[in-house]
Each structure stands twice: as C-alpha cells, then as structure tokens.
C-alpha cells in the first residue's frame, strides 16, 4: 500500500506540513508493523504515540483557527472528531482481536484515505486562509 505525503498535499504553512509528514511517517510505521511479524507491544506503542500525536496536531490546527477567526472552524473540528472516533474504534479492535485483514482494510479506508482527503480538501483550505492572514 502506498501512503505517501506528496507536494500536492502541502498546505503551505511549514509547521502544519511538517506535522503532516510526521503523521504519515507514523502511520506507515504502523502499517509496516501490521505487515511484518506482529509484535503486539510495538503495535500498542505505535497506536499510543499516534493517538497522542493526532490529538496534539488537531489541537494545534484548531488553536490556529481560533486565533485567526477561521469561518469554517465548526465543520473542520467536526471532521477531526470523526477521525479521532474512528481511530479509537480501530485501536480498540486491535487491542481486542489483534491485527487481521479486515482491520488492515479498515485502517486504509478510514484512516489513510480519510487523512489524504482531509488534508487535500480541508487543511489546504485552512492553509490558504492562514497564509492570506499572514501565517507563514
């Protein structure tokens, strides 16, 4: 599976782009852990880290939206909330039933595809807004 950050996903605000790259890196590590010999400890560690990282990243974006009075804050925050809920479900399932094919598909559909879509549509829109308002 190819899950890669590309220039097409750049929002144009360096700090957000760097966080997105880190996010892709972490998700890829999780996918690798699924595909290789699965060490439950490593998977658990990656999930914990990813969960914390996602929370921090979403809060960071949301703080910027508040600071710059972004019009579409509600819809963006709601979108983040859906992702967080999906991720919590996947995490729970992994910890309960272990990794399986269905779960890997689920991860791809609900996390990877979502992330690409979200960044492409909503975060780039936010990036444009922030840049217009003087955020580099």
Q: Which residues bind Fe ion (CB under 5 A)?
A: 61, 123
Name the DSSP class of 36: S
Least Cβ distance, residue 102 to Fe ion (angstroms): 27
Least Cβ distance, residue 69 to Fe ion (angstroms): 17
Taking alpha carbons only, the member of 110, 131, 108 closest to residue 17 is: 131
Q: Which is nearer to Fe ion, 90 or 114 (CB)?
A: 114
From CA 132, how far away is CA 134, in angstroms rounded?
Answer: 6
Q: Which is nearer to Fe ion, 39 or 63 (CB)?
A: 63
Residue number, nearest CB to Fe ion: 123
Question: Which ranges of the chain does DSSP label H, i.e. alpha helix?
Answer: 14-35, 40-67, 73-97, 101-106, 113-118, 124-132
Least Cβ distance, residue 89 to Fe ion (angstroms): 19
Q: Which is nearer to Fe ion, 17 or 61 (CB)?
A: 61
């Amino acid at each position: 599976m190819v899950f890669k950050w590309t220039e097409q996903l750049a929002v144009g605000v360096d700090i957000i782009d760097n966080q997105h790259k880190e996010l892709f890196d972490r998700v890829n590590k999780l996918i690798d852990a699924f595909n290789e010999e699965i060490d439950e400890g490593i998977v658990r560690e990656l999930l914990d880290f990813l969960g914390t990282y996602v929370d921090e990243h979403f809060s960071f974006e949301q703080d910027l939206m508040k600071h710059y009075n972004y019009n579409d804050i509600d819809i963006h925050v709601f979108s983040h909330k859906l992702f967080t809920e999906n991720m919590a479900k996947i995490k729970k399932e992994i910890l309960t039933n272990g990794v399986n094919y269905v779960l890997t598909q689920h991860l791809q559909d609900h996390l990877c595809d979502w992330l690409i879509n979200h960044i492409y549509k909503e975060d780039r829109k936010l990036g444009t807004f922030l840049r217009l308002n003087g955020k580099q």
